[in-house]
Amino acid sequence: MLLRLGHEGYRRIQQECADTAQFLAEGLAKLSAIEMVYDGRGALPAVCYKLRHPDTAGFSLFDLSDRVRMRGWQIASYKLPADREETIVQRILIRRGITRDMAVLLLNDIKNAITHLLENPAPNSKAGPSFHHD
């Protein structure tokens, strides 16, 4: 892509991805159920977050992944490595072509999914991922 777009074109695309990640992070940070881990203000155009109170939320991030998948989004949930495996996070990487409008739609779908899960607690919340990367 660098050869096709040149340095300035490549830089512009990466800056747009970073700006979109930061916009998404700002919206997610306003949700009371979410605690930001990474807000896109670094080397990667991505966000990472966990549940603020996972033990009392009534749902897990695996449940949230399933709920937003109904709207066409695939957001991976991960347990952290050894000595932190009780912490589950979700990571969203902003790639070329993910627009600010798409980020607004995703944010709204996450908000609606959290509202649904809070109103309908999962009695047997999933302890692990429901899909795998192939």
pLDDT tens-digit series, residues 51-85: 999 999 999 999 999 999 999 999 999 999 988 98
pTM metric for this prediction: 0.85
Strand order in the sheet with 76-79: 34-38, 46-51, 88-93, 76-79
The sign one gets for the Cα dihedral 34, 130, 73, 95 is positive
The answer to whether residue 89 sits within a structural domain is yes
Q: Confirm whether 125 is domain-assigned.
A: no
**Terminal CA-CA length for the chain:** 25
CATH at residue 81: 3.90.1150.160
Question: How much is the pLDDT for 134?
Answer: 45
84 located within any domain: yes
Q: Is residue 132 part of a domain?
A: no
Number of structural domains found in the chain: 1
Please indicate, yes or no, if residue 124 is contained in any of the structural domains. no
How far, in Å, CA of 102 to CA of 2, rounded? 25
Q: What percent of the chain lies above the pLDDT cut of 70? A: 87
pLDDT by 10s per residue, the chain, length 134: 556 678 888 889 999 999 999 999 999 999 999 999 999 999 999 999 999 999 999 999 999 999 999 999 999 999 999 889 889 999 999 999 999 999 999 999 999 999 999 999 866 665 555 444 44
